[in-house]
Chains A and B, each alone.
Chain A
Amino acid sequence: MVEINASGTYYKELNQKIRAAVEKGEKEIVLKNVNGQYYIGAGFVGSTNITIEGVPGNDLAAFMDGPTLRIKSNAQDNISNTMNSGKVIVEGNAGDVLGYGMRGGKLHIRGDVGYRVGIHMKGNKKQTPTIIVGGTAGDFFGEYMAGGILVLLGLDSTGPLVGDYLGTGMHGGMIFVRGEVDKNLCGAEVGILDLDEDDHKILKDALTDYCKDFGLKLEDIMKKGFKKLVPVSLRPYGNLYAY
């Protein structure tokens, strides 16, 4: 294990230090006194565990391919931008535009998230990106979604569960929402369904891992029912053009 003190260090220098530690084969890295530094873990490859104390800045884990990051507090915008694999665990709340174009790996957030989360997430045969939000989410949740799994739990929340334009332009993947979904909030491309047996299995698998990360009980979460949101068509804009 190695500790790096981020206090007063510019992001470029901080990332160089972390990179050097990763390249030396360090498997456990703890970053102390992080205070808004951008790009932590951006483009990192491999299997290192990095624990972050303090609030990291934007573009955390952008393009990341492998490592696991645990953030002990809140985090900011653009986490897991176009991430390929690995895991990001945020113990507090997180900001806007999380998991943009994310293709693989997991993003687990204990608290609330902002706008435009999970936009254009995509998957393929080998990869299923997963974002699980413990609290509430803002507008444009899952917009243009092309693949992967988005889960919204609304645990211990009092405010509205989710904002407007839920799943607008969705053409792949699935969104699970704990509780009822107001059809008026959804884009026209989305259908709201009850879960079948396969869905339950997928959801349980995802949530089991999530519960482990935060010391939660799966039974507690599953007490309330879920709805599934899927695209009504894989070709939402199929009839738009004249040939």
Chain B
Amino acid sequence: MFKSLAPPDYLATIDREKCIRCKRCIQNCGWNVYSWGGDKVLIDTFKCVKCLRCYHYCPEEAIEIKDNPTKFKQNAYWSFNNIKNIKKQAETGGIPLTGMGSDMPYPILFDNLLIDACQVTNPSIDPLREPMELRTYLGKKPSNVKVEKTKDGKLKLAEKMPPQIKLDLPIIFSPMSYGSISLNAQKVLATAAKACGIVMNTGEGGLHEDLFPYRSNIIVQVASGRFGVNPEYLNAGVAVEIKIGQGAKPGIGGHLPGEKIPLEVAKTRMIPVGTDAISPAPQHDIYSIEDLRQLIYAIKETTNYKPVSVKIAAVHNVAAIASGVVRAGADIVYIDGFRGGTGAAPSIIRDHLGIPIEHALAAVDDRLRQEGIRNEASIIAAGGIRSSADVAKAIALGADAVGIGTAALITMGCTTCGKCYTGNCSWGITTQRPELTARLDPEVFGDRLTNLIHAWEHELKEILGALGINSIESLRGNRERLRGVGLDSFTLDILGVKPAGR
């Protein structure tokens, strides 16, 4: 057979002295790197993706995965990936796919923003001794409230509040469909969402019946493929999200190949087993803001007016688009930056289309304020949130809450190897192979994800305490408490923050 001229990324090696031939690496690897040769473990290093499952499960620490030293000669202009993709394309004529968010070295604005703290003149607060409010409500807020007195002299709201989603802290789990991730991975998200008082999002793969008990912590999604969507589904969660775009692949559709559609996935998506699940690039009933409004209200009519979220990718004109989305009647605008994750996307699209969430968020928040409609919808910012510091910075830039996807998957074992599109994830996350998904115990990993959210909760409270404020509401859109380092004046202007030292 013709040997590919694209060299392997990694060299999987076994220290033969240490190896006790237990074969655990063979069982654990989803990509079949290892096989039994009669007297020793054989290695096909071309298949290795450095997900590190074998390394963690080798009892003897005999495995080492090295970056291939015999890659192409280092070249500051022609990167390894450039050359490798050209070779692959010359061999297949296809579009190279990838998974996870973009790892290209574009500037990371979050890392050029610093948060303020109190010293001397206004005291900081100790969150261990004083209450800190992180509770967040997502949905339309009235521009003013009328209050009236009841007969017994108590005050109450004169008009009904628009419907809200209650979150114990300003974090939600980003949409990841059953099909792109395993049912066990979805169960991890659901149990943690329930334990933390937040919500998860089904993505566009329908709602499996095992998730019904978590309905009050679920947002259901409607996208161009309309998989699994019927009146029962629309009414199943606390809100409905219309997916227009995704940060990792703005403007292009999704495509779950037939071989990744076993019975349970097919049942949940309400399609036949083994056929491709194609999500067209646009929703062909939405070609305008007016059309979007029509779908938003069709969903509201069907759900007796549950909140509707609209997810868009961060693109050049995002501020004007978000304004249109809010005017179309969305209760929540979900903005997904170009660093956002994906189960599968052409790498050329993931790495070169869209804009970072930091710019997009600041621009959208500004625009909605200028137009006097910021109260009409909540903003969720997503696409590369890595820590509670990113959460705090996003909220100071104007987000009501943030969405996390990759961070949640990392608690399940993910090492961001980026090979989700192969459907072989050794950690049982982005795969439907039963022997792999069985590894992901929803209870064990539900606890880990809950731990992460609680840890971030403590950190957020510490940050608020240092800022001398006791409520996340006081940080929301409060860009005065951010400073930029090493940013040019244009970027500072877009972000609406001063340079450090000012």
Contact = CB atoms under 8 A, between A and B. Distances in A.
Interface in A89-127: 97, 100-101, 103, 116, 119-120, 122-125, 127
Given A43-B302, A171-B275, A243 B285 contact: no
Interface in B247-277: 255, 257-258, 266, 270-272, 274-276
B230 A81 contact: no
Given A100-B284, A101-B225, A42 B94 contact: no
B95 A43 contact: no
Interface string A12-54: 1001000000000000000000000011001111000000000
Given A45-B231, A120-B225, A147-B272, A234 B258 contact: yes
Given A39-B297, A101-B225, A242 B94 contact: yes
Contact of A59 (B230, B276, B298, B422): B298
B294 interface: yes
A242 B266 contact: no
B271 A147 contact: yes
B444 to A, nearest CB: 31
Interface in A163-191: 169, 171-172
B224 to A, nearest CB: 7
B275 A172 contact: yes
A242 B95 contact: yes
Contacts of A42: 298, 301-302
Contacts of B258: 234-235
A63 B298 contact: yes
A169 B275 contact: no
A140 B284 CA distance: 10
B97 interface: yes
Nearest to A39: B301
A207 interface: no
Contacts of B422: 243
A84 B284 CA distance: 18
A146 interface: yes
Main secondary structure of the interface of B (DSSP, over half): mixed
Given A81-B285, A125-B272, A38 B294 contact: yes
Contacts of A103: 226, 230, 270
B89 interface: yes
Contacts of B302: 42-43, 62-63
B472 to A, nearest CB: 35
A106 B274 CA distance: 25
Interface string B343-359: 00010000000000000
A120 B275 CA distance: 13
A171 B294 CA distance: 28
B285 A97 contact: yes
A124 B301 contact: no
Which of A82, A123, A236 has the largest count of B CB atoms less than 10 A from its CB?
Answer: A82
A97 B284 CA distance: 8
Interface string A138-178: 00100110110000000000000000000001011000000
Given A59-B294, A124-B271, A171-B275, A65 B226 contact: no
Interface in B105-120: none
Contact of A241 (B94, B229, B278, B303): B94
A234 B95 contact: no
Contacts of B162: none
Contacts of A43: 231, 234, 298, 301-303
Interface string A214-243: 000000000000000000001111111111
B96 interface: yes
Interface in B68-110: 88-89, 91-97
Contacts of A127: 270
Given A63-B230, A103-B270, A241-B94, A146 B278 contact: yes
B41 to A, nearest CB: 25
A240 B92 CA distance: 9
A231 to B, nearest CB: 10
Given A84-B231, A242-B95, A169 B272 contact: no
Given A81-B285, A101-B226, A241 B275 contact: no
Contacts of B301: 11-12, 15, 39, 42-43, 62
Contact of A78 (B92, B229, B294): B294
A238 B94 CA distance: 10
A119 B282 CA distance: 12
A146 B297 contact: no
B280 interface: yes
Interface in B392-423: 421-422
A119 B276 contact: no
A171 B285 contact: no
A238 B95 CA distance: 11
Given A172-B272, A237-B276, A120 B284 contact: yes
24 contacts: A12-B301, A38-B298, A45-B231, A59-B295, A62-B301, A63-B231, A65-B231, A81-B295, A103-B226, A116-B284, A119-B280, A120-B226, A122-B226, A122-B270, A123-B272, A125-B272, A140-B284, A144-B284, A146-B271, A146-B275, A169-B278, A235-B257, A241-B97, A242-B94
Given A12-B301, A38-B298, 4 more contacts: A63-B231, A82-B229, A97-B284, A101-B226
Interface of A: 11-12, 15, 38-39, 42-45, 58-59, 62-65, 78, 81-82, 84, 97, 100-101, 103, 116, 119-120, 122-125, 127, 140, 143-144, 146-147, 169, 171-172, 234-243
